């Protein structure tokens, strides 16, 4: 006999979530929720959603990031390109 965990509802896709947020702009701006997000995202959404952005009253360390892949993909050109793109974007966001 095999017992499986209960099924979870699927998470909303980001584009669907953004559409939902756009439709509930006032709900987001007037909610009592708090979120800690990268400054790039906060700045982007602040104007579009009429949000207030504040610096936290404490230091937030830069996240440690790692890229993992299977050794068989070390020399795959498409995989090498993707890793370069990821590194470049992370370096741009967190200089």
Tell me the percentage of the chain whose pLDDT exceeds 70.
Answer: 66
Burial environment of residue 45 by CB neighbours within 10 A (0 to 12, 13 to 18, 19 or more): middle
pLDDT per position as a tens digit, 35-73: 788 787 888 888 777 788 888 888 888 778 788 999 999
pTM score above 0.85: no
Taking the C-alpha atoms of residue 69 and residue 16, their distance in angstroms, rounded to an integer, is: 29
Per-residue pLDDT band for 18 (boundaries 50, 70, 90) equals low
Measure the CA–CA gap between 30 and 72, rounded to whole angstroms. Answer: 50
Contact 29, 50 (CB under 8 A): yes
Contact between residue 18 and residue 43 where contact means Cβ atoms under 8 Å apart: no
């Amino acid at each position: 006999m095999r017992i499986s965990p209960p099924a979870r509802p699927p998470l909303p896709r980001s584009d669907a979530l953004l559409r939902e947020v756009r439709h509930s702009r006032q709900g987001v701006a007037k909610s009592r929720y708090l979120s800690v997000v990268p400054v790039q995202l906060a700045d982007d959404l602040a104007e579009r959603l009429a949000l207030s952005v504040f610096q936290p009253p404490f230091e937030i360390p830069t996240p440690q990031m790692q890229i993992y892949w299977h050794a068989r993909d070390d020399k795959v050109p498409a995989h090498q390109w993707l890793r370069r793109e990821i590194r470049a974007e992370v370096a741009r966001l967190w200089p």
